[in-house]
Structure 1
Amino acid sequence: MQTIERNSIEHCIKKIEQRYFPEQFSSGKKLRQRDLEYLMELMEERSNTRISLSTMKRLWKNEFNQMPHLSTLNALASLIDYDNWNSFQQEQNKVFELGNSTSKETSSFSKKLLFFLASSALLAIVLFVFISNDDKPLKIPDNIMFSASKTVVNNVPNSVIFSYDLQGIEADSFFIQRSWNPNHKKPIDPSKKNFSEIYYYPGFHWARLMANDEVIKKTRIHVQTDGWFATAKSNRLDIIPFYPNQSTLVSNGIMRVKDETFEQSSVDPKKGLIVSYFNIREFFGLPSDAYVLETRVRFDDVQSLVCPYMEVSIIDEKASSWLGITDKGCVSNLNIKVGDTILSGSENDFTALGTNLSEWQTIRLVSSNKRLKYYLNNTLALDQPFEGDRGQIMGLILTFTGKGAVDYVYLKNLDGAKVYSEDFD
């Protein structure tokens, strides 16, 4: 791959880091896996392309010998508001040409300026090294107080009150990050004792108390639901969703959001609709490495949808896994997460996960012996290993990119006994 192409990709990545992670960019720190996963979500929303985690890591480590696929480059450019990669390169070429013409007219001045800047940079480096060597590591007490309490027992919106005590800790800045998302990191006053945030979606999270860039304490946030709770939105990254009338979700043995509900809201079911059904609670006796989940789903209307997508998410005490289905011609768009591993449809054969979503589809997941087996209509579509102890199942989410319906949901232990059963009767 030519040097100029590699330089363009590196420049694009630097601009992305500067916009979304200014603290890491200014300090020269590398992005973490959860930061890359956040960028993946943004790219999927903006470009309708999801890049695998392995591809993201290769890009950020500069470990690619061939020019990445154009769809990958377009997705990167979308993060800094370009329509496509070609538009980004054209803009960079203009800057380069302008810099060349200007340098020809002011070559003498530029040489003097360059000498001055180089001298200043050297002085700055010396000062930085001196100051860095004088930095002292954080002294963190063993018994830091950090806890959280909800203002509502179940459902959302739900204000969570964080209580903390930072007495005796010396740092430049303090933060609370209420989920894995780095954009959810908010500065806090170390002289105070409380900070609150509203959770608009049910879920399970580990909130982090941070001093500078160091996590010094974690606490659990379990925003539970009272049974099934539906949300709807027109944009994947919407902070505040629309809450359908929960009392009308179930009728005739089916869970769905009715058409008249959309008519009463600002959500247009024909424009980027995303409907999610949450059941967030601790499913006692069901560790995430020993369960059977079965559900039956379909789309009520797919005529206006390009590549409709349905996803099952299983939340455990560590993170979440998600597994989806789509139209047969759209399986390249699929992304599967099992444990900490993300599998991209652009790099895997997901033919078995393509189906007719206007018909009822039976999904069955079997987690046993550190392997997750994924069956679609009784046919094994995926058999993927995972590692580590992930704790109990803390919730389920069924998501549709359109108007979706659910016939039943069963959770069983490996002996076949039902731990949770919902037929929507």
Structure 2
Amino acid sequence: MIDILVAQIEERLGWGSGSEWSNRDFEELSDLIFDSTKKRLSVTTLKRIWGRAELVANPSSATLDILSEFSGYENWREFANSAATNTALLSKKKHVGRFHLPAIVLILMGIAILATIFGALTTRKSIDASEFEFKSRPVSDEIPNSVIFEYDASAADDLAIIEIQQSWDKNKRVAINRKDSVATSIYYRPGFFKSKLVVDGTIVKEHDVFIQTKDWLGVIERDTLPIYLKKEEIKDNNGVSVSHETLAEYGIDPKTTNVRSSLYLVKDFGGIYTDDFDLSMAVKNTFEQGLSGCRSFQLYVLYDGGAIGIPLAKRGCASNLNVLAFDKTIDGKKNDLSAFGVDFINFVSLELISKLGVARILINGEQAYTMNGPETPRHIKGIVIHFEGTGAVQNVELKSSERMFYSSGDTTL
């Protein structure tokens, strides 16, 4: 059925056989899937599905759901149930994947018949969330950090698909056994995550996973495991930064490789909430010759249940930017976000002020954007910064109208 789905996507795209696609074709497909579903599949994942990289015996249900949605179905289950009607696509291929056409047709006919008979004989249980249990706990205070999930899903139907979703991202769903009670997962980056117990696509329970940092954590992002920087590699007299020299020490040349470096400060700051806070800092992207030429920067303010995202880039790159305004994404291709274009010759003053449910973004003292906050104030949980290439942050302050909660120049806070 995966082969049929692949064939259907190839038919829709009209690019010919995926066995002949270039890396750029897979990059374009990744972008098309994101534009259509607002969910991202990496180039590596797509190549594996198409047999162009090391195969995965059982692709995740989340991956199959996204590909099915891109093909016009609600999810993988809906596509699989209708797969028997799609075998005509395979007649255009002498050989598909690891199976010949007759074998696939016979298998699908058998599946369709069994599904019809079994569906008529079986009445699925309705889902009552109160019958399920779910909780989690990190095992350490370091990064990476493993999390123990304890659950009781015995109330689910025998045929139910039980999954744990590690965060807001549906791509991070892992299938678990209904009869088990413990599952573990590893988190390679800090953050505040809403993990979920999912039964047949329905979220029945949620639990907070809070992966904290002791101080600022510097990371060189990679498709595989991230590189964690030592404290002395990111600290300077004025703040925190990731430098060209640090990248070179790890054998990374951002002139020839797309590189993203990150700074994380994720912790319990105390009683500071989204309805009354002021976050200010001076920022600079210090890499002048990145492959894209945009020198992009992103700030995320994490809170219980979501994030605020503020981008900066060179003035000519404003169309590529997106503002995450609490629960809304403001697309730079459909909105004027030119106020977020800067030159980075000097440090840029960036401030986010939220009062009485309205948040304002100020760039170099000028108001760039306003947004409405959530009706119920949410607890602020962290600050995350991403640079294209390298960058620096100075004079970070997080305060409310009553008190200072964090200042990069005050070690007592």
TM-score (norm 2): 0.70
C-alpha contact 2:313 2:340 (8 A) present in aligned 1: yes
Letter paired with 2:286: D
Alignment of 1:150-165 (within 5 A): 150-153=138-141, 155-165=142-152
Alignment of 1:383-398 (within 5 A): 383-389=370-376, 391-398=378-385
C-alpha contact 2:283 2:392 (8 A) present in aligned 1: yes
Q: Distance in 2 between matches of 1:125 and 1:230?
A: 55
> Is 1:231 aligned to 2:232, yes or no?
no
From the superposition, tell whether residues 293 and 124 of structure 1 become closer, same or farther in structure 2 (CA, over 3 Å).
same
State which of 238, 259, 264 in structure 2 corresponds to 1:273: 259
Alignment of 1:336-415 (within 5 A): 336-389=323-376, 391-415=378-402
C-alpha contact 2:129 2:205 (8 A) present in aligned 1: no
C-alpha contact 1:317 1:390 (8 A) present in aligned 2: no
C-alpha contact 1:141 1:169 (8 A) present in aligned 2: no
Alignment of 1:245-256 (within 5 A): 245-256=230-241
C-alpha contact 1:156 1:201 (8 A) present in aligned 2: yes
Q: Distance in 1 between matches of 2:195 and 2:347?
A: 38
Letter paired with 1:149: R
Q: Report how far residue 398 of structure 1 moved.
A: 1.2
Match of 2:184 in 1: 196
Summarize deviations over 1:245-271 as a string: whole Å, max 9, x none.
Answer: 123321222311244432332433332
Match of 1:222 in 2: 210
Local SS of the residue matching 1:248: helix
Local SS of the residue matching 1:329: helix
Q: Report how far residue 421 of structure 1 moved.
A: 1.0
From the superposition, tell whether residues 162 and 126 of structure 1 become closer, same or farther in structure 2 (CA, over 3 Å).
closer
Q: Distance in 2 between matches of 1:226 and 1:296?
A: 22
Q: Report how far residue 145 of structure 1 moved.
A: 2.6
Local SS of the residue matching 1:38: coil
C-alpha contact 1:200 1:239 (8 A) present in aligned 2: no
* The 10-residue stretch of structure 1 (400-409 or 295-304) with the greater mean CA deviation from structure 2: 295-304
From the superposition, tell whether residues 383 and 9 of structure 1 become closer, same or farther in structure 2 (CA, over 3 Å).
farther
C-alpha contact 1:374 1:383 (8 A) present in aligned 2: yes
Summarize deviations over 1:100-131 as a string: whole Å, max 9, x none.
Answer: xxxxxxxxxxxxxxxxx9xx99x969975992
State which of 282, 285, 292 in structure 2 corresponds to 1:299: 285
State which of 127, 132, 136 in structure 2 corresponds to 1:148: 136
From the superposition, tell whether residues 326 and 124 of structure 1 become closer, same or farther in structure 2 (CA, over 3 Å).
same
Match of 2:163 in 1: 175
Q: Distance in 2 between matches of 1:170 and 1:404?
A: 51
* The 10-residue stretch of structure 1 (372-381 or 212-221) with the greater mean CA deviation from structure 2: 212-221
Summarize deviations over 1:31-84 as a string: whole Å, max 9, x none.
Answer: xx9993323x869xx9xxxxxxxxxxxx9899xxxxxxxxxxxxxxxxxxxxxx
C-alpha contact 1:171 1:211 (8 A) present in aligned 2: no
From the superposition, tell whether residues 264 and 11 of structure 1 become closer, same or farther in structure 2 (CA, over 3 Å).
same
Q: Report how far residue 185 of structure 1 moved.
A: 0.9
Q: Distance in 2 between matches of 1:381 and 1:388?
A: 23
C-alpha contact 2:239 2:408 (8 A) present in aligned 1: no
From the superposition, tell whether residues 295 and 61 of structure 1 become closer, same or farther in structure 2 (CA, over 3 Å).
farther
Match of 1:37 in 2: 38
Q: Distance in 1 between matches of 2:252 and 2:348?
A: 26
> Is 1:326 aligned to 2:313, yes or no?
yes
Q: Distance in 1 between matches of 2:127 and 2:372?
A: 40
Aligned CA-pair RMSD: 3.7
Gaps of 5+ in 2: 1-7, 15-33, 47-68, 73-87, 93-104
Local SS of the residue matching 1:263: helix
Q: Report how far residue 351 of structure 1 moved.
A: 1.8
> Is 1:207 aligned to 2:206, yes or no?
no
Q: Distance in 2 between matches of 1:298 and 1:148?
A: 38
Q: Distance in 2 between matches of 1:132 and 1:329?
A: 60
From the superposition, tell whether residues 12 and 337 of structure 1 become closer, same or farther in structure 2 (CA, over 3 Å).
farther
Summarize deviations over 1:383-407 as a string: whole Å, max 9, x none.
Answer: 1224432510011101111110011
Match of 1:135 in 2: 123
Q: Report how far residue 419 of structure 1 moved.
A: 1.8
Letter paired with 2:38: E
